[in-house]
Each structure stands twice: as C-alpha cells, then as structure tokens.
Amino acid sequence: MASQGGRAKVVVIGGGIAGSYIAKTLQFHGNLTLIDPWPPRVTLGRLLPHARGLGFEPHRGGFPLGAKKEWGLSPDAKYNRKEYLEIPWASLRGMVEPTFAERSLIQHKHFLTGSRLVVSNAIDISDSDVLTSEGRLVPYDYLVIATGHGDPLPKTRAERLKQYQAAHVCLDLMTENQKIKAAQSILIVGGGPTGVELAGEIAVDYPDKKITLVHKGYRLLEFLGVKASKKTLDWLQSKRVEVKLEQTVNLEDVADGSKLYKTSAGETIKADCVFLCLGKPLASSWLKNTILRDSLDANGSMIVDENLRVKGRRNIFAVGDITNIKEMKQGYFAKKQASVAAKNMKLLLSGGNESKMSAYKPSSAKTFVSLGRNDAVAQLSLTTMIGLVPGLIKSKDLFVGKTRKELDVDSHERVFRDSMGLFKRNSRTYIWRGSLIQHKDYLRSCRVIVSNVVDISDSQVITSEGQLVPYDYLVIATRHGDQLPKTRAERVKQYQADYEKIKAAQSVLIVGGGPTGVQLAGEIAVDFPEKKITLVHKGKRLLGFLGPKASKKTLDWLTSKHIEVKLEQTVNLEDVADGSRLFKTSACEIIQADCLFWCIGKPWASLWLKDTILRNSMDANGCLIVDEKLRVKGHKNVFAIGDITNIKEMKHGYLAKKQASVVTKNLKWLLGGSNESEMVSTYKLSVAKATVTLGSHSVVAQSPLNTMMGRIPGLITSKDLFFGKMRNELDVDSHVVHYQK
C-alpha cells in the first residue's frame, strides 16, 4: 500500500521500547511519524499512596498539589506526553544513581533521524487517520500500536533528569534517595520483579536497614517457576529481608504522619519509608472509543495474529506489552516482537506478498531478575541459576549499553580502549574520567610531590628540583618508563587526539603483537570495522607470554575481524620519509597506513637507580632484586613492588596489587614496632593465568587448567577493564552512595 505521490505513511503510537525499536527500523522505509503518548490522567487511587508518602495532597488527574515546585518541574509539566525513550528496566537505578539516567534516558531525535516526532496523546483512530489531543490529524497507510503500560512521566528529558538529579522522584515506585538513607526501616509492597529487585538493591547497599517485603501471592516472582521463587526467597532472607507472603497492606487506612502499617493478616509493620511496587495498567483504555474497540480482549490487550497484525485489520500491527501474546511482559520480548513486525511491514511497504510475512513465535520462559549490584536469578530453558554468573550478564549495566548500541545512539560516540584506559568521544561525559584518577581523590592525608627522583641515600630521597625528602621506610614502584604528561587534563587531550587520529584514518598499522598491540587492534576492529588494520609482530606467534593455544585462538579471532597479521617481521620507522604513508617491513613488504601505533615493550624506569645506593640491588635486566617479603636485596627498610621487581611472573596490574598488599601488611607490622623477623606476610608467586581483551565483549583467558575465548570470559574483563573495581578499591567514590534500581 503506497500513498499517492510517494512513500507510504507509517505511524507508530507509543515511544517505549517496542515503539522506538520499530520506528528506528522503519524510519527510512516510509514517511514515518512517531506519536509518543502516555495516559492523560492519573487516577486518585494510584496517586493517593505516593502523595501521602511524600507529604503532598493528592490531586485528581495530575501531580500532587505542591509537587511540581518541590520536584523542580515547570508549572506546565504534565504526565500525558514525552519526547524521549526511557529504558524502563533501568529507571530505579537512575533514581539513586542520577548519572546512570544520562544513559537510560534517550532523546527520540538521537536515533530517529529520518522521521517526524509528534509529542501528544492519541485520542482516536479512524480507518485512515490518528487524532491527537490537540486536534491534529495524522494520516497513515500502516499503523503500529505500542503504548504498553501506563507510566506517568514528564514531557521532556530535562525534566525527567531533574527528578533524578534532585533525588526527588514522583509516583510509581519512586521516593527520595535521602529519605531512604535516613530511614531505619523500609516497607516494600509487591513481590514482583520491581519489588524484589528494589529490596535486593537496598539490602546490599544499606545492610543496616530493616526491610520488610509484603506480597499478596503465595510465592515471589510468580511469573517464574517455583525453583526460581524459592531461590529468590532464600537470597532475600540471607540478606535479612523479612518477607510476608499472602498478605496485603491498605495504605489508605494509615493515619497521616503514622509509621505503622497493618497487613491483611493483622500484623503491624513499622516503616519510615514505603515503596508501592504493584503492577501498572495497560495504556489501552482510550482504544475503547476507536475503530479498534472490538480488537481488545477482556484484559484490555490487543488481539493479534501470528504476524502481529491486530484482529480484523490488515494494515494495523501491535507490539509490546499491549498485545495478548501469552508470554512474560519484558523488554527483550518487546524487542523481538518489534523485529518481526518491522520485517513484515518492510515486506508490505515494498509491495511484497503478505503470504510471505514472518510469524512471531512466543519465547520459552527465560528471564533475569537482578538481586543487588552483583547477583541475579536466571530462569533458562533447562535450568535455574542464582548468584554471580547470571549477575554478570544482567546486573552490570542492566543491558543499557546493549540497548543504546542496538538503537545506534552512540554511533558518534564510538569507544576504543588500550592497555592504559578507555577512549570515548562524548560532548558531555568522558569515560576517561573513570580511568584517570587524581591522587588527591584517594590520598586525603598525605603529601604528593610531582617531580622526578634523581638519587637515594640511606635516609632521604633527592628530587630533580633539589628537594630532600627524608624517609624511615621506602617503597620503589616505578614500573616501566611511560612518557606521560604532568596533568590529568593533558592526558585527556592525548586520548582525544589519538581518537581523532584513528577516526580519520582509512588504514591503521600497529607494530607489536603483545597485549597492548593485540588489544588495540581488537578494539579498533570492533568499533571501526570499515578500517583496514595491519598488525606486524617480530615473534613467531602473538602474545608470546601465553601458551600456543591462546596465541592461536587470538590469531584466529583477529583474522576473523579482517585484521592482516604479519608475523616474524619488523618495521623500521627511521627509513620512512617525512609525510609518507608507506612502510616497509623486514620482509620487504610495503604497507600503506594513514595512522601508526607503536606497541612494543617499554624499558624499565630503573636507569636512574644505577647512581643510587640501590645500584648493587639490580639484576642484569635492570630489575630490583627482592626477597620473599618484597624487601630490596641488602636493604631492610626498602621495599619494591610491581613491574620493577625481578619476580618471575607476568607483569600484570592485578599481580602488582597483590604485591602491594603484601608490602602494606609488612610495613604496618614494622610501623607498629614489631620485630622484622616476625613479618607475617610472604609473597607467593602466582600461577600462569592472564586475560587479554579482544574488543568490547570478548577475551582470551589462560588459566592453569584451560584456555578460554569469547564472551563468557569477556563478561568478567571486557566490560570496563576492572577500572570500576579499581576505583572502588581506592575508595575514590566514597562520597557517592550507589544502589541500582
């Protein structure tokens, strides 16, 4: 079906996950309009408990009286329309971690670049038009209903962010973060996924709180199997969450200012803070007055066929929670439906035969429910799991990064990483901020001297400015010789310059097949698949510090990403003329490259030690010789840690941290006045295990018993390269209290 004078008109009503996905897919296949409406009224019954809990008087059909001013919203803010997509399963984390909302709130205009956005309520549908609340007629040839559940939200992303950033949250399952922090006892009503996840988050991040969860059903998470419900109950109880099943709480019977709540079983619960985590109604009541009234079932769901067309309508589709499909109402199912409907509509828009349309097959019962920041319960086709493994899949960022990638929101913000940190181009927030840490942010009670050390005596250190720094105990941790700028701001500029260089290049040459060269090649290949990448390595195999199996797996992975790997060759840059883009290898091969990265080993930062009292404590390679206590040879009060030591193990950050832990224990022992012969901590060499990231999701991992490759080990390493863990260990973010959802 095509309109006169050009492409067919496609209208999508609903800008949630399902509507946004189908609009994104179809925007260049017709004249597409997205109408993003939400229920125009908020009933008194749904509003009353939240209004009372936050100290506002309820007001039929809108915000509680006084709430707009308190929540920092404009006087004209309404709940009936919005111009952004909110990833629904990430909303509770955004409530208490406002920076997370920056990623989970996505402007429609950032992924719908070839369509029209109408921010209004749809109030009627005819055979050819959609009527909005402003009286606008939006014509259609094909229509998609994707209004989902009724979530009252403000119109603009800025207003929604203000709610998060002010820690003032309105309606549906939200309250103030400061109120939770101040509360000694918390009541959660509802044992579905939202109530369970919220209980888990608070229990993990605020273990001192008294948490009570009341659920009317005989088990938690009734949409899952009995085994998953039991595992979830056991987990919550292990976190001292009191769970009361087969009971309800009537909040309307609670006197103003009272903190006592009575259950249907006659029990009394004391709570400073209440969360009402009950189901939301379908956003379909308005459809009862349209041509689709006879296509609704008794529950208000749209009746669809196997092709996701609405009952009795050949040119109207429905996707997402609004449909009557017998499967769990979850985001990833909504995305699958959107994919099938979009495929069928593409077929029809191109004049194809409707008999060739794809059928949607309801998925088997599998889902994940987060339990705190690290754990999750997962029900799969063959098993039910709980703990860290399913938590690694869901709880890390709640699939927000995956959703943004699928919507192509970050096509202008591509990421690549090297062994020292992460590059990311973003006009507001740099991921560099996570991996570049000011010393003052974690060293709050010591002195930092930014200078070179030029000499060491038995009692003092001399800097290049001539400053004498006396010591009783000394630690050498100078590792490799990295030429880095003085300030964090200058380092950020370096990252940005490298990013721009890669982005502009058509071809990239990487010299060096160790971990840095391999990781950089993988990152660029994944995020810039159109680039021609050549990696030259002088050795017989990549990653020579790992075993042959790991090297072979890595080579196969790089080759699968169309990276040309040249082994047993070198490149002499001194023979390259200024401005030339042609590089000659030792095998006389010519490589054309717009951009070059030199990723070979770095020298030890130990040359200066040859002129100090430690000259006789160095081996032939320039490493400091240490004993089992990590004291430098011949010096009882001098320790060494990290890459600078002669310890026979791989030079990795996590091993350096282990060495630092041993030295810290021994120094504490000595500083406490104990005898050095009784130092308790001895450093034990680690077994040969290592991980090397390959792009943003995969990893090659070598352990004593096995060599693995792919997404499973990648879940452990590749997500943020452990810099979140590092920041936590350094207590950099101690002033920020996180709990997700």
Q: What is the pLDDT of residues 368-403, one digit of tens each?
A: 788 877 788 888 777 788 877 766 665 467 778 788
Strands (E), 372-472: 375-379, 384-387, 415-418, 421-424, 453-456, 460-463, 468-470
Q: What is the model's pLDDT at position 86? A: 84
Q: Which residue has the higher pLDDT, 501 or 60?
A: 501
Residue 206 and residue 180 in contact, taking contact as beta carbons nearer than 8 Å: yes
How much is the mean pLDDT over the chain? 79
Q: Which residue has the higher pLDDT, 637 or 167?
A: 637
With bands split at pLDDT 50, 70 and 90, how would you rate the model's confidence at 704?
confident
Cβ-based neighbours of 148, under 8 Å, separated by 6 or more: 14, 16, 17, 18, 19, 282, 283, 320, 321, 322, 334
Instruction: Please state, in angstroms and rounded to a whole number, the distance separating the CA atoms of residues 45 and 188.
Output: 18
Per-residue pLDDT tens digits for 300-359: 999 999 999 999 999 999 999 999 998 878 787 899 999 999 999 999 999 999 999 999
List C-alpha distances in Å: 229 to 201, 211, 220, 326: 17, 18, 5, 20
Q: Is the pLDDT of residue 717 over 60?
A: no
Q: Is the pLDDT of residue 68 over 50?
A: no
Residue 421 and residue 495 in contact, taking contact as beta carbons nearer than 8 Å: yes
Q: What is the CA radius of gyration of the chain?
A: 30
Encoded tokens for 331: 């985001």
Instruction: Please state, in angstroms and rounded to a whole number, the distance separating the CA atoms of residues 435 and 579.
Output: 33
Per-residue pLDDT tens digits for 521-550: 998 998 888 899 999 999 999 998 788 998
**pTM of whole model > 0.75?**
no
Residue 170 and residue 107 in contact, taking contact as beta carbons nearer than 8 Å: no
Query: Phi first, then psi: what are they for 614, rounded to 5°?
Result: -95, 10
Residue 93 and residue 398 in contact, taking contact as beta carbons nearer than 8 Å: yes
Encoded tokens for 623: 């490493």
Strands (E), 109-172: 116-118, 122-125, 129-132, 137-139, 142-145
Cα distance between the two ends of the chain: 44
Q: What is the model's pLDDT at position 477? A: 93
CA angle 516, 716, 378 (to 5 degrees): 155
Query: Phi first, then psi: what are they for 463, rounded to 5°?
Result: -95, 170
Q: Which residue has the higher pLDDT, 147 or 425?
A: 147
- 3-class DSSP assignment, residue 370: strand
Per-residue pLDDT tens digits for 544-575: 878 899 899 999 999 999 999 999 999 987 76
Q: Which residue has the higher pLDDT, 237 or 49?
A: 237
Q: At what angle do helices 226-238 and 193-205 cross, to 10 degrees?
A: 30
Alpha carbons within 13 A on the beta-carbon side of 595 = 18
What single string gives the DSSP state of each residue in 9-33? EEEEE--SHHHHHHHHHHTTTSEEE
- Cα 75 from chain centroid (whole Å): 34
CA angle 324, 328, 331 (to 5 degrees): 100
Residue 227 and residue 378 in contact, taking contact as beta carbons nearer than 8 Å: no
Per-residue pLDDT tens digits for 99-151: 677 788 888 888 888 788 888 889 999 999 999 888 889 999 999 999 988 76
Residue 410 and residue 394 in contact, taking contact as beta carbons nearer than 8 Å: no
- Residue 301 is given by DSSP the state P
- Cα 593 from chain centroid (whole Å): 34
With bands split at pLDDT 50, 70 and 90, how would you rate the model's confidence at 258?
confident
The closest alpha carbon to 512, from 557, 573, 577, belongs to 573
Encoded tokens for 412: 């202008």
Query: Phi first, then psi: what are they for 560, rounded to 5°?
Result: -65, -20
Q: What is the model's pLDDT at position 157? A: 76
3-state secondary structure 588-600: CCEEECCEEEECC
Instruction: Please state, in angstroms and rounded to a whole number, the distance separating the CA atoms of residues 61 and 634.
Output: 80
Per-residue pLDDT tens digits for 269-299: 999 888 888 877 888 889 999 999 999 999 9
Q: What is the model's pLDDT at position 171? A: 35
- 3-class DSSP assignment, residue 355: helix
What single string gives the DSSP state of each residue in 541-570? SSSTTS-HHHHHHHHHHHHHTTEEEEES--
Share of the chain above pLDDT 70, in %: 79
